[in-house]
Homo-oligomer: A and B are copies of this chain.
Amino acid sequence: MYSLAELAVNLGLAYSGQADRVITGLAPLDSAGPDQLSFIADKKYLSQLAVTRAAAVILHPDYADQCPVASLPCTEPYVMFARASRLFDRSPETKPGIHPSAVVSPDSVVHASASVAAMAVIEAGAVIEEHVSIGAGVFVGSDSRVGKGSKIYPNAVLYHDVHLGESCVLHALAVLGSDGFGFAPGDAGWEKIYQLGGVRIGDRVEIGGGCTIDRGALEHTVIEDGVIIDNQVHIAHNCRIGKNTAIAACCGVAGSAKIGANCTFGGMCGVAGHIEICDNAHFTGRSMVTKSVSEPGSYSSGIPASPSREWRKNAVRFLQLESIYRRLVKLEKQ
């Protein structure tokens, strides 16, 4: 709970309106009540702004005139709203110290300000830096490292030789450093190729629940600074994901793919192995990226759903496309 004035100080913003107006939470423009803060980041919501009941609105100075309630003007309202969200976060805080049930190797280094929760296991050679929070049941393998201020949620697993940078968030049940899928086809079946690389993750990386990021075969799998990854994403061995790239849920990136910086992937995209994607390439949901991409821009694939009766006919015709094409060419020649 903040007064409008306190909020403005916290966000480093000026404000219009009553300084002691009490604000208890955040809400979208159209549902915000008289004790909630809201924001507008797109002019398409100006009609909602006109009638909002919010206590105050974070907005671009250009819209301040049209705001019927108190306002906090700034040039990046959405970013400022993100910062405000932190002020209202009620996630449980973790306390420094190692829970008595945790099993921490005497050959590891855990900073005194770090928190290691119940049932966590820290192996020999691991390093847990300042203000790290290791959740319940988390496993940190030998010679792995968790950088300053990072937070790992329950039951996530770091194999050995995995480095997570500073200020990262790793959600529950994520796996870092599992073996890459490397096998040689021998006469007697598949022969395992031992995966000798590790995983190197930069700073300010967030990785969602249930993600799997494999260790490299010979070198490391690398996730650069500022990358954000949603739930259930799979990153195969030897991949490199460039700075600030965002990957939505259920994507899969095959082995040795190199993805540039500032790319975005909608949900359920698949990226083929051994390809390269340049910076600033954007893929809508379910794109199937089979070739290298060297031009920034937006790419798509996939067929949107239609009524099954129609779809069935069209899907059959897809399988005849080559012959349809040839028949068309023949007609054209006549």
Give residues in A with beta carbon < 8 Å to B.
25-28, 76, 78-79, 81-83, 85-86, 88-92, 99, 101, 103, 117-119, 121, 123-124, 135-137, 139, 141-142, 153-155, 157, 159-161, 169, 171-173, 175, 178-179, 181-187, 189-196, 204, 206, 208-210, 212, 214, 217-218, 225-226, 228, 230-232, 234, 236, 243-244, 246, 248-250, 252, 254, 267-268, 270, 272, 283-291, 297-315, 317-322, 324-325, 327-328, 331-332
Contacts and interface: CB of A to CB of B under 8 A. Distances in A.
A332 B322 contact: no
The copy count of this chain in the complex is 3
Contacts of A117: 121
A125 to B, nearest CB: 9
Contacts of A327: 328, 332
Given A193-B85, A249-B252, A308-B298, A324 B325 contact: yes
A252 B136 CA distance: 27
With most chain B CB atoms within 10 A of its CB, the pick from A86, A169, A230, A307 is A230
Nearest to A178: B209
Contacts of A320: 314, 325
29 contacts: A76-B187, A78-B185, A82-B184, A85-B192, A88-B196, A91-B194, A92-B124, A103-B118, A121-B136, A121-B137, A137-B155, A181-B230, A181-B248, A181-B249, A183-B228, A189-B243, A214-B231, A231-B234, A232-B252, A236-B249, A254-B285, A298-B308, A299-B307, A300-B306, A301-B303, A303-B319, A314-B320, A328-B331, A331-B331
B299 A302 contact: no
A155 B153 contact: no
A300 B308 contact: yes
Given A324-B325, A331-B331, 5 more contacts: A28-B218, A135-B139, A209-B212, A267-B270, A317-B324
A252 B234 CA distance: 14
A183 B195 CA distance: 34
With most chain B CB atoms within 10 A of its CB, the pick from A226, A231, A244, A284 is A231
Contact of A285 (B270, B284, B312): B270
A137 to B, nearest CB: 6
Contacts of A254: 248-249, 267, 285
Contacts of A300: 305-308, 311-312, 315
A318 B321 contact: yes
A141 B187 CA distance: 35
Contact of A172 (B157, B183, B236): B157
